[in-house]
Structure 1
Amino acid sequence: MNGLMNMASAVGPLAAGWGVHSVWMRRRLSVARHDPLSGLWTRDAFEHRAARLLARHPHVVVVLVDLDGFKALNDSHGHAAGDAAIRATARSLAAALAPYRAAVVGRLGGDEFAAAVVLPYPIASSWLLRGVHDEITAPFRHDGRRLTVGASIGGALSSAVPAGAGRELPALLRLADEAMYMAKRGGGGCQTAAFTSRHTTTAGRRTGRPGTHTTPRGEAS
């Protein structure tokens, strides 16, 4: 009996130590998966969770958001104002998507954001995009001033494309990217993707976007 008690007293601190370590590791992983400025999921974490939503629900809209006038805001008011715009955009996305059943939101980098949102029925996608645009372009306060940014937004609805690879996340992101580009060419606002691709793509993004180019054979380089 004394032997069992001695063993328990020895194992107890070790188990407690592993428990603390496990909690610490989970917290570190959670921090690594969240963008430190916006608090949103990072690209990899977003893509993992968005793919799960697409696998489980029939109507999911994939949304890409690119801020308009962000560089001018940085140049005019400083990088702190740009950081405030990123945080305000994250809050706006959370507010716009709060009424929906399930949503995943991430910051892809710079002033580009993405979301995957489960819809009750397909027609809700246009309402969602307008709501996101209205929230993001509303004024926010920084250093005692009211500032604004514009937004170009593209959306691709999973149930609006043929079944198969076209409903997987990379394909829907490409369609949303094309729709966002069309919105930007029109001066901002929101645009829903059509069924077929209007632009060539390189490494999963529309050819011609910063950071994408092709070799003479048309391969990504």
Structure 2
Amino acid sequence: MTIPPHIVSVFIGLVLATGWALHASRLYRRLDRSRHDPLTGLWTRDGWTRRAERTIARHPRAAVLLADLDGFKPVNDVHGHAAGDAVLAAAGERLTAWCGTHGVAGRLGGDEFVAVIDDDARLDDRLADLAKLLRQPVEHQGVTLTVSASIGAARLAALTEPTLSSALTAADQAMYRVKGRARRGRLLLAPAFAALRSLPQRMRLAA
């Protein structure tokens, strides 16, 4: 039986369309994977930026935060990179849980994380909760690993120019102010600890 030419043309068109759809689907999946950090599962800079832009466009009360892990380098130096990866993965999981359905988390690189949440009504309390989450110990191969975090945040509504770029700049400045206060605190405590260590053991116990 001879198949009419127009039927053959339709069939070939369907085959080609299906092939292109499959190709596009595979390409999209590869592109989507490239926008996720393989270690933490968080969005990378490009993927996060796209979603953050949409969030702040829809929610004028959105807030942006940056978090930098304190004490991460000693974990890497003392316990190795696998231990450092465990800490980063745990931080990514905790940040994702903290954001919930009201925010988007990302990893900018190294031990620096970023997030946007769609409402800043309880921002101060939520930042305190996040700091507590990130301080929780991480168990890795029988070793307890502990870091803390310096977190800076910016409310879009409080900025003269309520853009993502301005919010990131303000959050970065706030984060380094927090980090500076923590560093000054350690520097002030260090002489006291050094003096205590220099005392004879009996005096230390008595103290």
Q: State the TM-score, normalizing by the size of structure 2.
A: 0.82
Q: What are the Cα deviations for residues 152-205 of structure 1, in whole angstroms up to 9, with x where unaligned?
A: 00011112233xx2x1111111111111111112228xxxxxxxxxxxxxxxxx
Separation (CA, whole Å) in 1 of partners of 2:12 and 2:145: 60
Residues 153-164 of structure 1 mapped to structure 2, 5 A cutoff: 153-162=151-160
Q: What are the Cα deviations for residues 68-120 of structure 1, in whole angstroms up to 9, with x where unaligned?
A: 0111000111001111111111001011121xx5312111111001001011x
Counterpart residue number, 1:71: 73
Counterpart residue number, 2:204: none
Structure with bigger helix share is 2
Q: Which stretch has the larger CA shift, 40-49 or 105-114? A: 40-49
Contact 1:103 1:116 in 2 (8 A): yes
Contact 2:62 2:118 in 1 (8 A): yes
Q: Which runs of 5+ in 1 are unaligned?
A: 189-221
What is the root-mean-square deviation in Å for CA atoms of aligned residues?
1.6
Residues 1-221 of structure 1 mapped to structure 2, 5 A cutoff: 2-98=4-100, 101-119=101-119, 122-162=120-160, 165=161, 167-187=162-182
Separation (CA, whole Å) in 2 of partners of 1:144 and 1:180: 32
Figure out how many residues of one structure are paired with residues of the other and give that number: 181
Separation (CA, whole Å) in 1 of partners of 2:99 and 2:60: 18
Q: Which amino acid aligns with 2:49?
A: E
Q: Which stretch has the larger CA shift, 69-78 or 136-145? A: 136-145
Higher relative contact order (CA 8 A, sep 6+): 2
Contact 2:99 2:105 in 1 (8 A): no
Q: Give the 3 Å change call, closer, same or farther, for CA 128–7 of structure 1 in structure 2.
A: same
Contact 1:50 1:104 in 2 (8 A): yes
Which stretches of structure 1, 4 residues or more, deviate above 6 A after TM superposition?
none
Q: Which amino acid aligns with 1:37?
A: L
Contact 2:152 2:176 in 1 (8 A): yes
Separation (CA, whole Å) in 2 of partners of 1:144 and 1:168: 45
Q: Which runs of 5+ in 2 are unaligned?
A: 184-207
Aligned residues: percent identity? 43
Q: Which amino acid aligns with 2:138?
A: F
Q: State the TM-score, normalizing by the size of structure 1.
A: 0.77
**Displacement after TM superposition at 1:145 (Å):** 2.5
